[in-house]
């Protein structure tokens, strides 16, 4: 069981030592009171049989993740530019400077080491900056490839590859987000000049939030309302909805904004400090006909006619892939939050056992208290739950790729419809997990050494972006209600597996004299209980909407519940299936631990909404009463294995950037080092006397003037 020590990069281990040349003082020789963090974690690791490497391969085997992480990590650790230890002291403008410097360096490292795209992404992941290049690599390049026609691709691709064209994607506006049809920016075709006129008629038409645009990009994909004359001679214009245009926005030499364009960075935000989210307005800015990306929609420059081919629903499949990636990312966020919480929860001790008569007994690890366990261990289980659904989505996508490319989405259709609800639930769980863990860490959770500050500030964008979490649950609920309606009608063959499941439920369970499911003795019954509850809630919503004709908006809260119930059902089902599939060749030891985590996730989720399960006749009242006791027992079962379970996620110290969560447990040495040796504020001596406006000792009123100039 000593393998844990050998397999995790211990990049931070030397950082608690004094920097060479630093002044010596009496604190250099002090040690923390025992038991020390390293001793505590060694004991934790020795008491458990969790097979770390087997579990790590099981979780992170896809796409050579572990070897890639090690390879790229070794490069970044040796680059001073990627040292994170003092970056929290930087101003927001400096944080952009640093972000740009790192983005450039990463790209040069990619050239130098022959990294592929996945390696480069790994570099961004480990660097942990929201990179000023991010939207260039993501949306900009993808949009040119998918929306550009052959000639456009041929024109732009070499310029992008050379690094000359740096692009962003400008869709969202100051007054318009989720409702894309409502955007105000216009692209009006001028048949005489043979140009489009890009124009922002109002302030709310300003492009807003668009990453990479504020300071970095020299080009943009601009999504604007296409306006065409009714005919070549007409002066009457017709709206054709939002379309993408590629537009140069800054001078290629000076990088100054082009005349007729107001573009800049929107300023400090909750997170995303290194990213230049931008605003942009156009004042009758003219662009050529070739600017309109024309793989799908075209405008005939002479007749002004508009043509649009039957929509090749390629987006359908790739959206599923994007959603799967969001879930796979969410699980790593949770694993990271929980890794810190579990390790520090063991090292940190507080109070003796109240029932212990030995007044000299050591204080307990806080992770021994159920009040700490209940906040952390269900989240550990949830990271695994998210993993199996992310895997299932990716496997399905990859396994049916050939069909997808031919436009046959029959296998993916259900999952795609459900993916909105999954995005909503999973990013919500991950976003909440960070703050829940942080609060369980006591005072040090609030400190800069927690490792939670930037993690939280950046991740809190996720419940809003890529579809607001509350809004998009309507999509899943709408689909489920349609399928239930089809099942009630019951004509012909079922449309898909959800329709089929609804029919089965209507036939066998709905208003039938059936017993609740025996969830405490049979894991499969747990899965069935979640499914039965989801069907029940779907049916209720179907009745309200389709039978009683209730207004859609009055049902929104109920619809969200339907979506979440279905998403929870999918998570539980995929978790169960992964543990019981024939292909799974995991060791019985591992299977045992994963089964405990499965039950904890399922029971914890069920307990939070117990009444739903009762009303659906899915679980008995007596079994529901039993859940809190079961949950506490499952947590006690997991407790001794918690450290090795989080070790298995192999989050490197370099990424954690947390004194509390260090692999080696040197929590207090690291906290002290950050305060005493890495804090620039301690290099200045201040004048604290209120009657003087001297701020820094010996500098008169100079410092006050400097600060005032920044306000």
| Residue from 77, 428, 466, 626 carrying the catalytic annotation | 466
Alpha-carbon gap, residue 601 to 526, rounded angstroms: 11
User: Which region among 113-121, 139-147, 321-329, 460-468 touches a copy of itself (by CB under 8 A)?
Assistant: 460-468
Task: Return the number of the residue (172 or 573) whose C-beta is nearest a copy of itself.
Answer: 172
Distance CA 674, CA 659 (A): 9
Among 266, 322, 543, 586, binds a copy of itself (CB under 8 A): 266
Based on the shown chain and the rule CB under 8 A, indicate whether residue 242 belongs to the binding site for a copy of itself: no
Q: How many residues bind a copy of itself (CB under 8 A)?
A: 157
Q: How far apart are CA 484 and CA 7, in angstroms?
A: 50
Instruction: Please list, in sequence order, all residues whose beta carbon lies within 8 angstroms of the beta carbon of residue 213, skipping any fewer than 6 positions away.
Output: 135, 168, 170, 207, 220, 249, 263, 276, 277, 278, 279, 280
107 binds a copy of itself (CB under 8 A): yes
Sheet architecture: strand order including 207-210 = 207-210, 278-282, 261-265
State how far Cα 419 lies from the chain centre.
Answer: 15
Per the DSSP assignment, residues forming a β-bridge with 207 are 173, 280
CB of 151 to a copy of itself, least distance (A): 26
248 sits in which H/E element? strand 237-248
Cβ closest to a copy of itself, residue 523 vs residue 657: 657
Interface positions, 345-364, toward a copy of itself (CB under 8 A): 349-351, 353-355, 363-364
- Determine if 182 is a binding residue for a copy of itself (CB under 8 A): yes
- Residue 62: exposure state from Cβ atoms within 10 A (0-12, 13-18, ≥19): middle
Phi and psi torsions of 694, nearest 5° = -75, 125
| Phi, psi (degrees; rounded to nearest 5) at 282 | -115, 135
Q: Is 685 annotated as a binding residue?
A: no
Q: Minimum CB separation from a copy of itself for residue 205, in Å?
A: 7
- Token readout for 389 is 């659904």
CB closer to a copy of itself, 66 vs 374 = 374
Using CB under 8 A, which of the segments 117-125, 147-155, 432-440, 585-593 binds a copy of itself?
432-440
Task: State the minimum distance, in angstroms, from the CB of residue 323 to a copy of itself.
Answer: 19
Helix axis angle, 410-439 to 473-489, nearest 10°: 140
Catalytic, 79? Answer no
Task: Give, for 268, the enclosing helix (H) or strand (E).
Answer: none
Q: Which of residues 528-567 bind a copy of itself (CB under 8 A)?
A: 551-554, 556-558, 560
Beta bridge partners of 225: 186, 242
127 forms part of the interface with a copy of itself (CB under 8 A): no
**Strand partners for 169:** 221
Give the footprint of a copy of itself on residues 214-233 (CB under 8 A): 214-218
Q: Is 204 in the site for a copy of itself (CB under 8 A)?
A: yes
3-state SS record for 61-93: CHHHHHHHHHHHHHHHHCCHHHCCCCHHHCCHH
CB of 416 to a copy of itself, least distance (A): 21
Closest CA to 92 of 130, 124, 122: 130
Please answer whether residues 595 and 520 qualify as being in contact, where contact means their C-beta atoms are separated by less than 8 angstroms: no
Considering beta carbons, is residue 222 or 292 the nearer one to a copy of itself?
222
In the list 66, 90, 138, 258, the residue contacting a copy of itself (rule: CB under 8 A) is 90
For a copy of itself, which residue of 17, 158, 692, 702 counts as binding (CB under 8 A)? 692
Binding flag, residue 180, a copy of itself (CB under 8 A): no
The pair of structure tokens assigned to 498 is 């959800």
Close Cβ partners of 680 (under 8 Å, ≥ 6 residues apart): 86, 89
Residues in 14-33 at the binding interface with a copy of itself, rule: CB under 8 A:
25-27, 30-33
Q: Does 274 bind a copy of itself (CB under 8 A)?
A: no
Rounded CA-CA distance 273/95 in Å is: 6
d(CA 671, CA 226): 56
State the minimum distance, in angstroms, from the CB of residue 408 to a copy of itself.
30
For residues 513 and 553, which CB has a smaller minimum distance to a copy of itself in the complex?
Answer: 553
Q: In whole angstroms, what is the distance from residue 233 CA to residue 455 CA?
A: 57
Give least dist CB 167 to a copy of itself, A.
Answer: 11
DSSP conformation letters of 139-206: IIHHHHHHHS-HHHHHHHHHHHHTT---EEEE--BTTBSS-GGG---EEEEETTTTEEEEE--SSTTS
Q: Hey, which residues between 595 and 654 contact a copy of itself (CB under 8 A)?
A: 610-611, 624, 628, 632
Check binding of 100 to a copy of itself (CB under 8 A). yes
Residue among 368, 466, 500, 637 that touches a copy of itself (CB under 8 A) = 368
By CB under 8 A, tell whether 209 contacts a copy of itself. Answer: yes
Pull the structure tokens for residue 360: 């000299």
Choices 138-146, 296-304, 336-344, 691-699; region in contact with a copy of itself by CB under 8 A = 691-699
Q: Which stretch binds a copy of itself (CB under 8 A): 112-120, 145-153, 260-268, 571-579?
A: 260-268
**What does the alpha-carbon distance between residue 614 and residue 612 come to, in Å, rounded to a whole number?**
5
CB atoms within 10 A of CB 266: 16
Tokens of 501: 């499941």
* CB closer to a copy of itself, 262 vs 313: 262
172 is in an annotated binding site: yes
d(CA 600, CA 379): 10
- Please identify which residue in 418, 461, 475, 538 interacts with a copy of itself, judged by CB under 8 A: 461
- Cβ 13 to a copy of itself shortest distance, Å: 17
Residue 687 lies near a copy of itself (rule: CB under 8 A): yes
Q: By CB under 8 A, tell whether 161 contacts a copy of itself.
A: no
Nearer Cβ to a copy of itself, position 522 or 693?
693
**Is residue 254 close enough to count as binding a copy of itself by CB under 8 A?**
yes
Q: Scanning residues 69 to 88, which ones bind a copy of itself (CB under 8 A)?
A: 80-81, 83, 85-88
Q: Nearest distance from residue 89's CB to a copy of itself, in Å?
A: 5
The verdict on 35 binding a copy of itself (CB under 8 A) reads no
Q: Please state the closest distance from residue 365 (CB atom) to a copy of itself, in A.
A: 12
How far is 509 from 193, CA to CA, in rounded Å? 68
Pick 218 or 248: Cβ nearer a copy of itself: 218
**Site for a copy of itself contains 427 (CB under 8 A):** no
Residues known to be catalytic? 466
Residues annotated in a binding site = 172, 211
Annotated binding site for FAD: 172, 211
């Amino acid at each position: 069981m000593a393998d844990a020590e050998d397999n995790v990069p211990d990049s931070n281990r030397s950082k608690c030592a004094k920097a060479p040349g630093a002044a010596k003082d009496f604190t250099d020789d002090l040690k923390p009171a025992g038991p020390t963090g390293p001793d505590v974690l060694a004991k934790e690791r020795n008491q458990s049989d969790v097979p770390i490497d087997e579990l790590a391969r099981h979780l992170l085997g896809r796409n050579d993740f572990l070897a890639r992480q090690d390879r790229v990590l070794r490069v970044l650790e040796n680059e001073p530019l990627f040292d994170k230890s003092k970056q929290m002291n930087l101003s927001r403008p400096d944080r952009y400077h640093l972000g740009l410097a790192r983005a450039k360096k990463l790209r040069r490292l990619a050239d130098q080491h022959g990294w592929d795209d996945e390696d480069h992404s790994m570099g961004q992941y480990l660097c942990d900056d929201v990179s000023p290049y991010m939207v260039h690599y993501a949306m900009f390049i993808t949009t040119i490839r998918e929306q550009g026609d052959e000639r456009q691709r041929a024109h732009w691709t070499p310029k992008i590859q050379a690094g000359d064209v740096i692009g962003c994607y400008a869709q969202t506006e100051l007054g318009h987000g989720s409702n894309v049809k409502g955007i105000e920016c216009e692209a009006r075709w001028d048949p005489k000049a043979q140009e489009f006129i890009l124009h922002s008629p109002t302030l709310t038409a300003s492009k807003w939030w668009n990453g990479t645009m504020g300071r970095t990009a020299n080009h943009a994909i601009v999504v604007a309302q296409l306006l065409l004359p009714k005919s070549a001679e007409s002066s009457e214009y017709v709206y054709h909805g939002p379309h993408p245009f590629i537009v140069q926005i800054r001078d290629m030499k000076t990088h100054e904004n082009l005349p007729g364009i107001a573009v800049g960075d929107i300023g400090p935000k909750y997170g995303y400090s290194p990213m230049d989210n931008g605003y942009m307005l156009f004042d009758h800015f003219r662009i050529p006909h070739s600017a309109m990306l024309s793989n799908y929609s075209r405008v005939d420059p002479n007749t002004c006619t508009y043509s649009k081919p039957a929509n090749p629903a390629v987006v359908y499949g790739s959206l599923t892939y994007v959603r799967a990636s969001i879930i796979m990312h969410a699980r790593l966020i949770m694993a990271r939050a929980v890794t810190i919480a579990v390790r520090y929860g063991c090292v940190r001790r507080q109070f003796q056992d109240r029932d212990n008569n030995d007044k000299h007994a050591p204080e307990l690890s806080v992770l021994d208290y159920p009040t700490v366990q209940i906040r952390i261990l269900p989240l550990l289980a949830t990271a695994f739950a998210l993993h199996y659904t992310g895997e299932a989505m990716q496997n399905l996508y990859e396994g049916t790729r050939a069909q997808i490319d031919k436009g046959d989405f029959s296998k993916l259709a259900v999952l795609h419809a459900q993916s909105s609800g999954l995005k909503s639930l999973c990013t919500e769980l991950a976003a909440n997990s960070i703050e829940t863990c942080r609060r369980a860490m006591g005072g040090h959770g609030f400190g800069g050494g927690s490792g939670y500050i930037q993690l939280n500030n950046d991740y809190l964008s996720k419940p809003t972006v890529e579809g607001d979490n509350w809004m998009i649950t309507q999509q899943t609920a709408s689909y489920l209600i349609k399928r239930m309606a089809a099942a009630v009608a019951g004509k012909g063959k079922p449309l898909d597996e959800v329709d089929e499941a609804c029919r089965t439920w209507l036939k066998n369970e709905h208003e039938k004299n059936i017993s609740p499911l025996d969830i405490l003795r049979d894991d499969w019954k747990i899965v069935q209980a979640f499914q039965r509850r989801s069907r029940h809630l779907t049916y209720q919503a179907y009745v309200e909407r389709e039978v009683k004709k209730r207004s859609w908006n009055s049902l929104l809260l109920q619809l969200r519940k339907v979506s979440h119930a279905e998403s929870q059902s999918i998570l539980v089902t995929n978790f169960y299936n992964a543990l019981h599939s024939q292909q799974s060749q995991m060791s019985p030891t591992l299977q045992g631990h994963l089964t405990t985590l499965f039950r904890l996730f399922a029971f914890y989720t069920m307990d939070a909404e117990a009444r739903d399960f009762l009303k659906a006749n899915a679980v008995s009242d007596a079994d529901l009463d039993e859940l809190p006791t079961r949950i506490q027992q499952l947590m006690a079962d997991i407790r001794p294995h918690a450290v090795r379970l989080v070790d298995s996620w192999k989050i490197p110290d370099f990424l954690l950037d947390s004194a509390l969560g260090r692999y080696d447990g040197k929590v207090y040495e690291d906290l002290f080092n950050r305060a005493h040796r890495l804090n620039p504020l301690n290099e200045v001596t201040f004048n604290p006397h209120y009657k003087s406006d001297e701020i820094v000792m010996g500098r008169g009123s100079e410092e006050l003037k400097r600060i005032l100039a920044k306000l």
